[in-house]
Structure 1
Amino acid sequence: MQQDGLILELQNGNEKAFERIYELYSESVYGIIYSIVHDETIAEEIMQDVFLKIWENAASYNSSKGRFFTWILNIARNASIDQIRSKSHKNKQKNLAADNFVDILENKSHFSSTTDAIGISKYINVLKPICKKLIDLLFFKGFTQKETAEELEMPLGTVKTKNRACINKLREILAE
């Protein structure tokens, strides 16, 4: 079944289509969630919530607004960011013992493994280094624009402008 037909079947409540969507996208969805929350158990819980949202909100997907995969990844990314910004998650992080804490931001392989997991590394790799860094912080690590500005020691307005330019460049590359 072609993707358009599969999406239409999903929107019509076909459980087999939903199972196929899960088979096609669950690994990528888990990869993006895990890259943000850095916890297998939480990532699995969020993934269940994401696919429940996909099932419940399938009718809201509109192909004229973007690709289906992008729609799914936005649901996953938003759910993950909501989780890490939640009070319970922040409290849990405060309670971690110092010897259990791993500084994810210093992990050099994190960004490339994340982009490989969702299949966009070949597109990201052609971007300028600043674009790679912005996309990593804003989309894969869940930083706010303000947090990104602080991390990169750059004015907030510059982060916003460069982010817009980087996303537009990525759109151009994907459209080729």
Structure 2
Amino acid sequence: MQPDSLIAELQNKNPKAFERIYERYSESLFGVIYNIVRDQHLAEEILQDVFIKIWNNAEAYNDSKGRFFTWALNIARNASIDKTRSKAFKNKKKNLTADFYVDILEEKNSFANSVDAIGIKKYIKILKPYCKQIIELLYFKGYTQAETAEELDTPLGTIKTRSRNCIQSLRDILVK
């Protein structure tokens, strides 16, 4: 089944189309979710919620506004970020041992693993170093623009401009 017809079937609430969509995208979406929440069980829960949202809101997808994967990725990313900003998540993280944080800090390839999980590693390599940093913080770690500005010790306006320019550069690379 072609991707466009598969999506049309999903929008018509065809359970078989939903299964195929899940098979096609769940691994990549899980990778993005896990890279934000850093908890296997929680990432699995969020993935389930994301696919429920995809099922319930499939008719809201419009192919003239972007690719289906991008639409689903935004749902996954937003759900993950919402979870990390919840009070329960923050309280849970307060009770973790220092080993949890050491593991995250020592994982030098986290950005490489993140971009590889969604299949854009070869495109990210082409970007300028500051673009890689900004994309990692904003899209893979779930930072806000203000948090990114603070982390990089850069004015907020500069982060906004650079993030817009970096995303445009990535779009230009992908469209070629």
TM-score (ref. length: structure 1) = 0.97
Deviation of 1:95 (Å): 1.6
Structure 2 matches for 1:20-169, cutoff 5 A?
20-102=20-102, 104-105=104-105, 107-169=107-169
Mapped partners of 2:104, 2:163: distance in 1: 22
Counterpart of 2:39 in structure 1: which amino acid? D
Deviation of 1:108 (Å): 1.6
**Unmatched segments (≥5 aa) in structure 2:** none
1:127-169: CA deviations, max 9, x gaps? 0000000000000000011110111110011000000000011
Deviation of 1:103 (Å): 5.5
SS in 2 for 1:24: helix
**Unmatched segments (≥5 aa) in structure 1:** none
- Give the structure 2 partner of residue 171 of structure 1: 171
SS in 2 for 1:102: helix
SS in 2 for 1:143: coil
CA shift in 2, pair 1:111/1:87, >3 Å: same
CA shift in 2, pair 1:100/1:166, >3 Å: closer
Structure 2 matches for 1:1-16, cutoff 5 A?
1-16=1-16
SS in 2 for 1:101: helix
Counterpart of 1:164 in structure 2: which amino acid? R
Mapped partners of 1:43, 1:63: distance in 2: 27
Number of matched pairs: 176
Q: Give the percent of matched residue pairs that are identical in Structure 1 and Structure 2.
A: 68
Deviation of 1:105 (Å): 4.7
Mapped partners of 2:19, 2:123: distance in 1: 28
TM-score (ref. length: structure 2) = 0.97
